[in-house]
Homo-oligomer: A and B are copies of this chain.
C-alpha cells in the first residue's frame, strides 16, 4: 500500500476569493501581519502497490482531482504504508 499526498493550489494570478476572505478575517481578528492567504486542497490517497502508480497518479490529478486550467498540483508518494 502506498500513501499519496496531493497538494492542489490555484495558479499564480488566479483570483482566490476564499483566500482573500481568510486573510481579511485574520486581519480583523488582530493578525495584521498576514499579508496574503491562498487556499488550496490537500488529499491523501491509499493506493495498492503496483508499478505504474506514478503514471496513474499523474493521470488522476490532471483528469479528476485538479483543474489544470487554473490549478497546479504536486504530489509525494510514500512507500510501504501499512493500513
Instruction: Identify the A interface with B (CB < 8 A).
Output: 1, 7-9, 19, 22-23, 25-26, 29, 31, 33-48, 50, 53, 56, 60, 63-65, 83
Contact = CB atoms under 8 A, between A and B. Distances in A.
A35 B22 contact: no
A50 B34 CA distance: 11
A76 to B, nearest CB: 12
A38 B43 contact: yes
A35 B60 contact: no
Contacts of A1: 35
A65 B22 contact: yes
Contacts of A56: 31, 33
Nearest to A44: B38
